[in-house]
Amino acid sequence: MAVKERIGLVVSDKMQKTVVVAVENRVPHPKYGKIVVQTKRYKAHDEENSCQVGDRVRIRETRPLSRTKRWVIADVLDRASQV
């Protein structure tokens, strides 16, 4: 069975060892054909607390770690620019 992976943007890092990742999916509308952006948010486990808001990350599906957390950070693709 293939492991599910998604690429998204970290939108919250206020929890300990957990980040919220927003994944955008662009699909055509079934009737009108216009491209519609659908956003889904996943809670992902971040063991080292290394991710910050704005980072692009790859998440991988795993066993349930809590009531809502079923994903883990696989790797950080781009770091957010430090201001």
Per-residue pLDDT of the chain in tens (83 residues, 90 and over written 9): 789 999 999 999 999 999 999 999 999 999 999 999 999 999 999 999 999 999 999 999 999 999 999 999 999 999 988 76
Nearest to 80 by CA among 59, 53, 41, 58: 53
Answer yes or no: is 37 within a domain: yes
Q: How many domains does the chain have?
A: 1
Q: How far is it, in rounded angstroms, from Cα 60 to Cα 44?
A: 9
Answer yes or no: is 83 within a domain: no
Q: How far is it, in rounded angstroms, from Cα 15 to Cα 54?
A: 15
CB atoms within 10 A of CB 55: 21
**Enclosing domain of residue 9:** 5-78
Supply the CATH number for residue 62's domain. 2.40.50.140
pTM: 0.90
